[in-house]
Amino acid sequence: MPNFLSIKNLFPLMLIVILSGCVSSSIDPSRYEKTTSYTLINAEPTRLDQYFEREVASHSLTKETGFYPLDKGHDALLARLAIIETAQSSIDVQYYIFRDDTAGNLIAWRLFEAAERGVRVRVLLDDMQNYDDKDLLRFSSHPNIDVRMFNPHHLRTARGLAMLSDFERLNHRMHNKSLTVDGVVSIIGGRNVGNEYYSIESNVEFADLDLLMVGKSVRQVNRQYDLYWNSDYSIPIEWLTNDQLQYTDADVDAWVQALGLKEKFSGGAHDFSKLPLYSDLLNGTIELYWGEGDLLYDLPDKPDSKQSTLIDSLGAVINAGKTSLVLISPYFVPTESGVKEFVKAVEDGREVIIITNSLASNDVFAVHGWYAKYRKDLVKGGVQLWEVKSNAEIKKNWSLTGSSRSSLHTKAIVIDKRKIFVGSMNWDPRSADLNTEMGVVIEQPEYANKVYLEIMKEIPSTAYQIEVVDGDIIWVDHSTGERLTTEPDASIWRRFGAWFSGILPIEEQL
């Protein structure tokens, strides 16, 4: 048998770990002066206030949340561009992923343009993605823009080494996603910033859901953002590099011209002025769903406290349900205790429907490997389990992807056809224990029932139903009548990768 881990190979690894112990594993905030800032309160109504004036007039903003669902990538991108364009005083940005691609550059450019006209822009990014610090530093050098990184890697050019030397800290990430303008309107949900979330130039296309909100929950988003922005975990980008870079007008002009941002923004597919939502905003004719709701979120110190305030609050809401539970999660690893809870809900007379990705549509096959271990027990316990097809048709107004694969990315829960939860949280150990998450739960029977009915109508054609026959898993395609005995549309190597991941002791990391 070959000696794959020889002494010759092991020595450099040991040396790296030993040396990395000499490197500071965290950044001491007391060494720096960090400016505290909070949501700007507008003395006079903003344009956004005026746009929603008709809707707001008949509702209580202290108790109710008004929302507009964004279930198409096209609408989700253009809605973000539209409210950024409307900003007068402030924009707060919070994302787990902010890619350097078409969608990311379009949004970044509009944020820069807003700063140019005097809008304060705060950008808080999780530091798991490998960003270009120099680009972020130039962006943050604008007098109206501040960029901070949540729980950053201490070795900026050796991130793998940083993880080795400080895994316990760096394994905790900020998964929250929000964009808030003038403290009046927020967009929250499952989408990061990247082409795959907005039907643009990607080989995979995510089906996702955001809510554009006004009212009570927006004020809660503001408080959540301020907590994160001012926490010790949020580090100004200027602290993370010795460079002192400033953007120039020539830099900006070259960036905009090289990527054709003006052309993409002012016409064609990315012209948000063609979005029906934008016309409704300008005309004051936008129609929202209204209901009593609350923003649920983990505190920024979750990595230290080990407590999920979101899970505690959401668990109480789910347990109070009586008749039905529909859970949609792209990454679904219920654990043994979770399986018991779902089965108990069925035994108590509740309809329980779970929708997740198939192996072919899941972009993280290791997650599928561990989820697969629980399928039989769920189905035997009466849970209706569905796996989304990799070629499922995604709702969209456009598609520039030419994508060969679709993937579920929506994170939502429908409770008793009366309440709906939409947010960033997957149903897995990582969301429960390692990442910070956020989401809103709103009691809105009209919309919740509509979502339930749409799911029940569409799921037989867009997903496989899982059954257990003679102890074996069967994938039932109700649109064709086929009954499949192996993971549909997945290569043998993908099936092997999922199986192998399922025998590794990594469940708590998924």
Residue with the two structure tokens 């899941």: 362
Distance CA 270, CA 279 (A): 15
Look up 8 and say whether it is catalytic. no
Contact 265, 81 (CB under 8 A): yes
Closest to 235 (Cα-Cα) out of 179, 348, 154, 313? 154
User: Could you tell me if residue 343 is left (phi over 0), alpha (psi between -120 and 50 degrees) or otherwise beta?
Assistant: alpha
Closest to 139 (Cα-Cα) out of 245, 51, 4, 213? 245
Contact 161, 155 (CB under 8 A): yes
Q: Which member of 71, 126, 133, 416 is catalytic?
A: 416
Measured over the CA atoms of residue 434, residue 437, residue 443 and residue 449, the dihedral's sign is: negative
Q: Which member of 172, 389, 411, 417 is catalytic?
A: 411
Look up 177 and say whether it is catalytic. yes
Distance CA 484, CA 196 (A): 29
What's the token pair of residue 34?
């960090």
- DSSP, collapsed to helix, strand or coil, labels residue 428 as coil
What's the token pair of residue 486?
């192996």
Look up 373 and say whether it is catalytic. no
C-beta atoms surrounding 496 within 10 Å: 13
Amino acid at 330: P
Look up 478 and say whether it is catalytic. no
Distance CA 328, CA 412 (A): 5
> What count of residues does the chain have?
510
Distance CA 346, CA 325 (A): 10
Q: Which member of 72, 177, 270, 419 is catalytic?
A: 177
Q: Can you point out the beta strands (E) in 127-228?
A: 145-150, 178-181, 185-189, 204-207, 210-215
C-beta atoms surrounding 315 within 10 Å: 12
Question: How far are the Cα atoms of 89, 229, 364, 408, 499 from residue 367, in angstroms, in the given order?
Answer: 42, 31, 6, 14, 10
User: Could you tell me if residue 370 is left (phi over 0), alpha (psi between -120 and 50 degrees) or otherwise beta?
Assistant: alpha
Q: Which member of 182, 208, 298, 428 is catalytic?
A: 182
Beta bridge partners of 467: 474
C-beta atoms surrounding 503 within 10 Å: 10
Q: Which member of 74, 409, 417, 419 is catalytic?
A: 409
Look up 389 and say whether it is catalytic. no
Look up 175 and say whether it is catalytic. yes
The residues carrying an active-site annotation are: 175, 177, 182, 409, 411, 416
